[in-house]
Chain A
Amino acid sequence: GAVVSQHPSRVICKSGTSVKIECRSLDFQATTMFWYRQFPKKSLMLMATSNEGSKATYEQGVEKDKFLINHASLTLSTLTVTSAHPEDSSFYICSAKVAWAFGEQYFGPGTRLTVT
């Protein structure tokens, strides 16, 4: 099956710094990638939809200037959490949609962000 990787798997940063998370589709091209956030014991919450070569579409309530998304190629999307605060601590998961399928998404293993 299609494989999606995320890097780093865990990151701890100080309040006020920025953190970049990478999402890669390893063996397929993904025209669309999604970024999710998950709080403990809660389900995934879609943050934004990223289409290659265009601006990301953010869900209501998600600050686009705080969560910068770049989808520069068909295999890479990045999420940058700018000026991180402790409340940004969460589990961030990306997924990639196979271009030729009717919507199948493959999920990365997630990135645990802790802001101190």
Chain B
Amino acid sequence: KNQVEQSPQSLIILEGKNCTLQCNYTVSPFSNLRWYKQDTGRGPVSLTIMTFSENTKSNGRYTATLDADTKQSSLHITASQLSDSASYICVVSAMDSNYQLIWGAGTKLIIKP
């Protein structure tokens, strides 16, 4: 069964600190893995997208890693800002006719001043 699991479920850190969010998946056949940021009451916004051949990809203070062998990914946020408070969702795309997206439950990140 295709599944995406994220940890932790929620995380609170102080402004300026770094943090790492985890994602494990069992999706086959694998097409790509995405990290989205979703602010409360808004649609998801893409942060990174990686295929199986990519190990790391950065977008500003966000760096995603992918280990296709262990089927794990992480999202590292550097020097957190208050605006980073949001849900971060790991999504894996299966290589089917519609590239179905398998959604993780998300990690709720709260940045405190």
Contact A103 to B41, CB < 8 A, known contacts A42-B105, A46-B101:
no
Kindly identify, within residues 37 to 58 of chain B, every residue whose CB is under 8 Å from any CB belonging to chain A: 41-46, 49
Complex CA distance for A42 and B104, rounded to whole angstroms:
10
Complex CA distance for A113 and B78, rounded to whole angstroms:
36
Looking at chain A's contact residues, the main secondary structure is strand
Contact A110 to B103, CB < 8 A, known contacts A32-B98, A102-B32, A103-B93:
no
**Chain A interface, number of residues (Cβ within 8 angstroms):** 24
A91–B45 CB distance below 8 A: no
Residue of A44, A49, A91, A102 touching B103 (CB-CB under 8 A): A44
- Expressed in whole angstroms, the minimum distance between the Cβ of A105 and any Cβ of chain B is 7
Residues of chain B at the chain A interface (Cβ within 8 Å): 31-32, 36, 41-46, 49, 89, 93, 98-101, 103-106, 108
Sample of 23 A–B contacts (CB below 8 Å): A4-B43, A6-B43, A42-B105, A44-B89, A45-B103, A46-B100, A46-B101, A46-B103, A93-B43, A93-B44, A95-B43, A97-B98, A102-B32, A103-B99, A104-B49, A105-B101, A107-B36, A107-B44, A107-B45, A108-B43, A109-B42, A110-B43, A112-B41
